[in-house]
Amino acid sequence: MMNTIRSKQAILIGAVILLTVFLFTRDIKGLVKPKQATTGVPAVGQLTSAGSTINLTEVSTTAKNSINANLAAEITTLENAYNTAPDDEKMNAAKVLAEKWDDVEQAVPSALYLEIIAGKERNLNNWLAAGGRLMKAFDNTQDSLISPVLLQKANTAYTNAVALDSTNLEAKTGLGITIVNGMGAPMSGIAMLLDVVKKDPKNLKANMSLGTFAIKSGQFDKAITRFNDIIAIKPSPDAYFYLATAYENLGKNEEAVDAYLNSKKLAANPTLSNFIDKKVKELKSKN
C-alpha cells in the first residue's frame, strides 16, 4: 500500500516539475526534460519575484553566445542602431530587434524589447504582444532567477491590457494564466479562465491552463474531462501527454498508454518518443 502511495506521489511530483515551466501550448520539446531535483519547485500560487530585475545587456550577451556568430553580429549592429537612434525612430528600431530575436528563437530579449515598446506606445495590441512574448519566455527559460521576473512582467502587461479593454478575452486569458502560475491567489485566476471558457468554449489557452492546473492540484478526473474536450477541439501532442499523465495518476494504465502513444505520433519528436517508449513499457509491465 505504501509503495503504491509513493509511486503515485512520484508521478505527481514529476508532473508538477514538467508543468511548472510549461503551462500551456508550446513547442513539444519542452514537455520532456532531464531529471531534476524536486526541492525548490514552487507550490501552486507561490511563484513570486522579490523585486528582481532583468538586465537587457546581459540577456543579449547570453543569447548571442547561443546562436550563430553571423546572426549575433547582425543583432549587434541592430542594437547599435537602436542605441543611437533619435527618439522618433527608437521604437521602430526596437520593433526590428524584437522580431529578429524572435526569429532566432530567443524569447527573453525579444520580450524585453516588446515591453519597452508597450511602455512607450501604450495601446492594447502592444500590451498583448508584450504579454504573450513574456509568457513564451517564462515558459521556456531554464533560469530560475529571471523566471519569476518574466512572470511578473507578463502579469503587468496583461493587467495593462485588461485596463484598456476589460472584455478582451486574450488579455483575460493571459492575466488568468499569470495568476494561476503564481501572481496572486490561484483561484481568482481560475475564475477568470472559467469566465473566458464560458464566453469562448473553444479557447485552447484557457482550457489548457485549466487542465494543467487540475493536474497540479491533484484533480485528475477534472483534468481528464478538460483534456478530452481540448482534443475534441484540436488534438495536440501536449493535450495527449497531459491526458496520459492524468490517467496514469489514477492508475488507468491502458488509457494512459493510448494517450501517450497518440502524443508520440503527433509530435514525431525523438526525445519525446524515447521518453514515451520507456513510459509505455513501464505501464504495460504493471498490467
pLDDT tens digit sequence for 110-153? 999 999 999 999 999 999 999 999 999 999 888 888 999 999 99
The three three-digit cell numbers of residue 56, written as one number: 537587457
Query: Both 212 and 222 in a single domain?
Result: no
| Segment 86-102 mean pLDDT | 96
Domain range spanning residue 161?
Answer: 20-29+48-216
Among 216, 248, 266, the domain boundary falls at 216
Q: Within a domain: residue 67?
A: yes
Query: Both 118 and 239 in a single domain?
Result: no
pTM: 0.80
Looking at the structure of the chain, the number of domains it has is: 2
Q: Within a domain: residue 277?
A: yes
Instruction: Report which DSSP code applies to 28.
Output: G
Torsion sign across C-alpha atoms 21, 22, 28, 34? positive
CATH number of the domain residue 112 falls in: 1.25.40.10
pLDDT level of residue 14 (50, 70, 90 thresholds): very low
Query: Both 211 and 257 in a single domain?
Result: no
Query: Both 172 and 115 in a single domain?
Result: yes
Helix pair 204-216, 169-181: axis angle to 10 deg: 20
**Residues 6 or more apart in contact with residue 33 via CB below 8 angstroms:** 17, 18, 21
Query: Residue 14 carries which side chain, given as an amino acid letter?
Result: G
Q: Within a domain: residue 11?
A: no
Q: What is the rounded CA–CA span in Å between residue 8 and residue 266?
A: 27
Residue 42: helix, strand or coil by DSSP?
coil
pLDDT level of residue 13 (50, 70, 90 thresholds): very low
> Is a pLDDT exceeding 80 seen at residue 43?
no
Angular region, 251: left φ>0, alpha ψ -120 to 50, beta rest = left
Among 167, 195, 216, the domain boundary falls at 216
pLDDT level of residue 39 (50, 70, 90 thresholds): very low
pLDDT level of residue 52 (50, 70, 90 thresholds): low
Higher pLDDT, 233 or 51: 233
Among 188, 216, 244, the domain boundary falls at 216
Query: Both 243 and 188 in a single domain?
Result: no
Q: Within a domain: residue 41?
A: no
Query: Both 118 and 248 in a single domain?
Result: no
10 Å CB burial of residue 67 (0-12, 13-18, 19+) is middle
Contact 144, 132 (CB under 8 A): no
Q: What is the rounded CA–CA span in Å between residue 77 and residue 173?
A: 36
pLDDT at 133: 97
Query: Both 123 and 91 in a single domain?
Result: yes
Reported for 56-62, long-range contacts at CB under 8 A and 24+ positions apart, including other chains, are 56/109, 56/112, 59/108, 59/109, 59/112, 59/146, 60/109
| Segment 251-264 mean pLDDT | 95
Q: Within a domain: residue 256?
A: yes
pLDDT tens digit sequence for 216-240? 999 999 999 999 999 999 999 999 9
Query: Both 206 and 97 in a single domain?
Result: yes
Q: Within a domain: residue 3?
A: no
Query: Both 227 and 179 in a single domain?
Result: no
pLDDT at 32: 54
Q: Within a domain: residue 9?
A: no
Query: Both 61 and 79 in a single domain?
Result: yes
Query: Both 182 and 223 in a single domain?
Result: no
Query: Both 89 and 224 in a single domain?
Result: no
